[in-house]
Amino acid sequence: MINRLVSIIIVNYNGKKYLKSCIDSILKNNYDNWEVVIVDNGSKDGSLEMINDEWGNISNLHLVKLNENKGPAYARNAGAKASRGEIISFLDNDTEVEQGWITKAMKYFKSDLSVGILQCKLLMLEDKKQYDYAGEYLSSLGFLIHRAHYREEDRGQYDNPVEILAAKSAGMFIRRDVFEKIGGFDEDYFIFVEETDLGWRSWLAGYRAIFAYDSIVFHHFSVTKKIVDPKFNNHLVRFHGTKNYILTLYKNLSFKNLIIILLKNIFLWMGLAGYLILRGNFSSSGNILKGIGWNIVNFPRNYRKRKKIQKNRIISDKKLFEKIYRKRSVLSYVRQFLGAQKQLATPENQ
């Protein structure tokens, strides 16, 4: 019996430093039916030349060239359109994979047709005994709760295929028919939270997302921050983070929970903007307010998206929340934010 074709899609933007190790690890995998599609987002660092020099003679490795950086969401959709696999795997360019990462993931799809998305176990490439990511839940305030703390030691404590809200594109799999049925990534996101939105929409369409703990991917952390201008990075994080959180909640929540959760979420974003203004950080606060404003300006388009998603939903919020919803206090988020601000202010991070 021939194994199903798996399309491995990697978005690259000025990632020449990391891409070679990523592709070399993929070439060592033990699955016998796969292809790689590299989508280059307008790199200027010699990535294209390296791709042609290193792997130009590999028949199942394909390159999609974009003239400018259109963001990961757009680029992943472009990669999916150029691929042929029944199963799609998304990797970041700063990852390396274990040899059996595809083989172990495929057993979940074969054994359970209700599984639409798989999250690989993401460990730190710098220390392969520490977690980067093990899936996420939705909090009562509309923000995400990660199952594993950043750099938490992997002691096998998450080694079970539990249901999660969504997967992270640094290491995930999705059935093509599910990806196409829900319309792929929402390209209005550009970057951040687009994977959460994808996973949430797959749940509403009747498919589960689970943690594939034995399919292992190693990931560098915060490479985007290292290759992007700090001012633009602030725009990416604050503007797109705010914009996309609000958009995700608006599109996917039922009306009752939309009123309860979205209003709390917006209130907290506005509180954060006010705090940053008092601290004199006008750039960050301005980007947060722009993110809120974007959703107001684009309300008609966002409403059409919401209407389509809600019309086709299979599962109620009540049933879904039993699986992916967790309560969390405002104070815990305040402590998390203040801790992150303190970390950013240390000399080694400046």
- Could you state, in order of their start, the residue ranges of all structural domains in the chain? 7-225, 229-313
Reported as a single tens digit per residue, the pLDDT across 129-179 is 999 999 999 999 999 999 999 899 999 999 999 999 999 999 999 999 999
Helix (H, G, I), strand (E, B), or coil: what is residue 146?
Answer: strand
Predicted TM-score (pTM) of this structure: 0.93
Query: 196-220: per-residue pLDDT in tens?
Result: 999 999 999 999 999 999 999 999 9
Give the three-class secondary structure for 125.
coil
- pLDDT band, residue 110 (cuts 50/70/90): very high
The answer to whether residue 334 scores a pLDDT higher than 80 is no
Note the pLDDT of residue 230.
56
Q: What is the mean pLDDT of the chain?
A: 92
The length of the chain, given as a count of residues: 350
* Segment 229-245 mean pLDDT: 82
Within 10 angstroms of residue 12's Cβ, the number of other Cβ atoms is 28
Residue 49: count other Cβ atoms within 10 Å of its Cβ: 11
DSSP state of 90: E
Regarding the domain delimited by 7-225, which CATH topology (the fold level of the hierarchy) does it fall under?
A: Spore Coat Polysaccharide Biosynthesis Protein SpsA; Chain A (3.90.550)
The pLDDT score that the predictor gives to residue 350 is 27
Q: Where are the alpha helices (DSSP H) in the chain?
A: 16-27, 47-55, 71-82, 101-111, 176-181, 194-204, 223-227, 230-234, 241-252, 255-257, 263-278, 282-297, 299-311, 317-324, 330-344
**Distance of alpha carbon 10 from alpha carbon 348, whole angstroms:** 30
CB 109 within 8 A of CB 174: no
CA distances from 174 to 12, 33, 91, 338 (A): 20, 16, 12, 35
State the Cα–Cα distance between residues 319 and 201, nearest whole angstrom. 14
